[in-house]
Structure 1
Amino acid sequence: MPIARAAATTTVRRAVARLGAVALTGALLAACGGASDGASTDGAGGGVTLTVDLFGSFGYKEAGLYAEYEKLHPGVTIKQTDTEDEADYWKSLQTRLAGGAGLADVQGIEVGRIASVTQQQSDRFEDLRKYGAETLKDQFAPAKWAAATGKGGEVLGLGTDVGPEAMCYRTDLFKQAGLPTDRTQLAEKWATWDGYLALGKQYKAKAPAKSAWLDSVGSLYSIMIGQQKERYYDASGKLIWEDNPALRTAWDHSVQAAQDGLSAKLDQWSPQWNQAFAAGSFATIPCPAWMLGYIKGQAGDTGKGKWDVAALPGGAGNWGGSYLSVPKAAKHKKEAYELIKWLTAPEQQTRLFEKQGNFPSATGAIAKVAAAKDPYFSGAPIGQIFGDAAKAAPVQVLGVHDQNIAQQITNALSEVERKGTSPEKAWSNAKKGVENTIG
Structure 2
Amino acid sequence: MRISKRIAATVAAAALTTVAITSCSAGGNGGGGGEVATEDNKPDKLTVAAWMDFPPELLASFEKKYGIKVVVDSFPDGASAQTVLRNGLASGGAGLSDVHLIELDWWTEMMAVPEDWVELPEIPGRWVDWKEKQGSVDGAITGYGTDIGPLGIAYNEEMMAAAGVATDDDSFAQFIGGDAASWKSFLDAGRKYVAASGNYFIDSLSSAFQAAINLMPAAFEDPESGKPYNLADNAEIKDLFMTFADAAEDGISAGIPIGHADWGAGFQNRQWATVVTPAWMTGIIADNAAGIPGWRVSSTFPDGGGNWGGSFFAVPASGKHTGWAVKLADYLTSPDAAVQWFHETGQFPSQVDAIASPDIAETQNEFFGGQKLGQIYGDLAAAAGDAAAGGYRGENFAGIQTLVTDGIRQVESGSATAQQAWDSVVSQFDALGFDTAD
Same fold (TM over 0.5): yes
Q: Percent identity?
A: 29
Instruction: Tell me which amino acid in the other structure corresponds to 2:326.
Output: Y
Q: 2:208 maps to which residue?
A: 220
Which of 409, 413, 419 is 1:418 aligned to?
413
Q: 1:160 maps to which residue?
A: 146
- CA offsets 1:196-217 (integer angstroms, 9 cap, x no match): 2222222212436xx4111111
Instruction: Tell me which amino acid in the other structure corresponds to 1:122.
Output: P
The structure-2 alpha-carbon separation of the partners of 1:319 and 1:70, relative to structure 1 and needing over 3 Å to count, comes to same
Instruction: Tell me which amino acid in the other structure corresponds to 1:149.
Output: S
Q: 2:35 maps to which residue?
A: none
The CA distance in 1 between the partners of 2:402 and 2:171, in whole Å, is: 34
1:431 aligns with 2:426: yes
The structure-2 alpha-carbon separation of the partners of 1:316 and 1:358, relative to structure 1 and needing over 3 Å to count, comes to same
Deviation at 1:338, TM superposition (A): 1.1
Q: 2:307 maps to which residue?
A: 318
Q: In the alignment, is the contact (CA less than 8 A) between 2:183 and 2:302 conserved in 1?
A: yes
Deviation at 1:167, TM superposition (A): 0.1
Under a length normalisation based on structure 2, what TM-score does the superposition of the two structures give? 0.82
The CA distance in 1 between the partners of 2:230 and 2:171, in whole Å, is: 35
The structure-2 alpha-carbon separation of the partners of 1:432 and 1:51, relative to structure 1 and needing over 3 Å to count, comes to farther
The CA distance in 1 between the partners of 2:94 and 2:280, in whole Å, is: 31
Alignment root-mean-square deviation, CA = 2.5
- CA offsets 1:81-116 (integer angstroms, 9 cap, x no match): 1232x3333223211221121111111111011222
Q: 2:346 maps to which residue?
A: 357
Larger mean CA deviation between 63-72 and 418-427 belongs to 63-72
Q: 1:52 maps to which residue?
A: 48
Which of 383, 392, 399 is 1:392 aligned to?
383
The CA distance in 1 between the partners of 2:433 and 2:312, in whole Å, is: 23
The structure-2 alpha-carbon separation of the partners of 1:241 and 1:378, relative to structure 1 and needing over 3 Å to count, comes to farther
1:83 aligns with 2:70: no
Q: Which ranges in structure 2 are unaligned for 5 or more consecutive residues?
A: 15-41
The CA distance in 1 between the partners of 2:297 and 2:424, in whole Å, is: 35
Instruction: Tell me which amino acid in the other structure corresponds to 2:340.
Output: R
Q: 2:9 maps to which residue?
A: 6
Q: 2:332 maps to which residue?
A: 343
The structure-2 alpha-carbon separation of the partners of 1:357 and 1:217, relative to structure 1 and needing over 3 Å to count, comes to same
Q: Which ranges in structure 1 are unaligned for 5 or more consecutive residues?
A: 12-45
Deviation at 1:319, TM superposition (A): 0.7
1:207 aligns with 2:197: yes
- CA offsets 1:357-416 (integer angstroms, 9 cap, x no match): 111111121111333432211122322321122223313222221111111111111111
The CA distance in 2 between the partners of 1:338 and 1:81, in whole Å, is: 20
Q: In the alignment, is the contact (CA less than 8 A) between 1:126 and 1:156 conserved in 2?
A: yes
Which of 184, 189, 212 is 2:170 aligned to?
184
- CA offsets 1:5-43 (integer angstroms, 9 cap, x no match): 1323699xxxxxxxxxxxxxxxxxxxxxxxxxxxxxxxx
1:277 aligns with 2:267: yes
Larger mean CA deviation between 330-339 and 237-246 belongs to 237-246
Runs of 4+ in 1 over 6 A off after TM superposition: none
The CA distance in 1 between the partners of 2:407 and 2:79, in whole Å, is: 16
- CA offsets 1:261-286 (integer angstroms, 9 cap, x no match): 01112143122123323332211000
Q: In the alignment, is the contact (CA less than 8 A) between 1:401 and 1:438 conserved in 2?
A: no
The CA distance in 2 between the partners of 1:438 and 1:388, in whole Å, is: 43
- For the residue of structure 1 that corresponds to 2:75, the secondary structure is strand
Q: 1:42 maps to which residue?
A: none
Deviation at 1:295, TM superposition (A): 0.7
- For the residue of structure 2 that corresponds to 1:318, the secondary structure is coil
